Amino acid sequence: MTLRAVLSACVLALTVALGGCGVSGSVSVEHDKGLREELTTLRDRGESKPFNEVVPGDWDQAHLVIGPKSGERIREMTDLDVELRGDGTFQGSFTQDGNLIILTRDGEVVRMISTGQSRVFGEGTVSSSAILHGNPDSPQIRVANR
C-alpha cells in the first residue's frame, strides 16, 4: 500500500469517526459586530422583528446567556454538550459581559454568537419564531415566543 493510499484511508476513517460526533464540538463562538449593531438599533428605535429575521439560518432554538459564565454553568443552564472556544472565551468559559447566543437545530449547536460587551437580552431559551421587542427606555430587548 502506498503512502498516499494509507493517508487517504486515515483521513477517511477520521472523517467517518468524527461524523458521529455532535456539531457542538466543531462550533466556535464568533463576535458578530453587525448583529450587535442591528440589535442595538432595534432596541433604540423601539422596533419589533422575528428573531429568525434578525439572525437568519437553519436553527430552531436560541439559548440566551448573560456573561461572564463558566462553560460548566452554561452546560447546566442549557443542557447542551457545548465546548466554549473562540471570541470572548478563555479556558472554556465565556468571559464577555454581554450575551452569548447559542443557536441549535434539533438539539445540536449550529452557531454561537457573542454580543461582546453589549447585554441586549435576559437569559432563557426561545424559538426561532420569537419576536424581539425593542424599547429605547430599556437596556434589554424583550423576547416573546409566538
Number of independent structural domains in the chain: 1
Task: Give residue-wise pLDDT tens across range 31-75.
Answer: 999 999 999 999 999 999 999 999 999 999 999 999 999 999 999
In a domain, 57, yes or no: yes
Residue-level pLDDT at 99: 95
Supply the DSSP symbol for 69: B
103 or 146, higher pLDDT:
103
Residue 5: inside a domain: no
Residue 6 domain flag: no
- Identify whether 109 is part of a domain: yes
Is position 10 within any domain? no
Q: Which three cell numbers stand for residue 111?
A: 452557531
Residue 114 within any structural domain of the chain: yes
What was the pLDDT predicted at 1?
58
| Structural domain of 90 | 23-144
Q: Please give the model's pTM, rounded to 2 decimal places.
A: 0.80
CB distance 118 to 35 below 8 Å: no
User: What is residue 52's three-state secondary structure?
Assistant: helix
15-34 per-position pLDDT tens digit? 333 333 333 457 999 999 99
Residue 144 has pLDDT above 80, yes or no: yes
Confidence of residue 13 (pLDDT cuts 50, 70, 90): very low
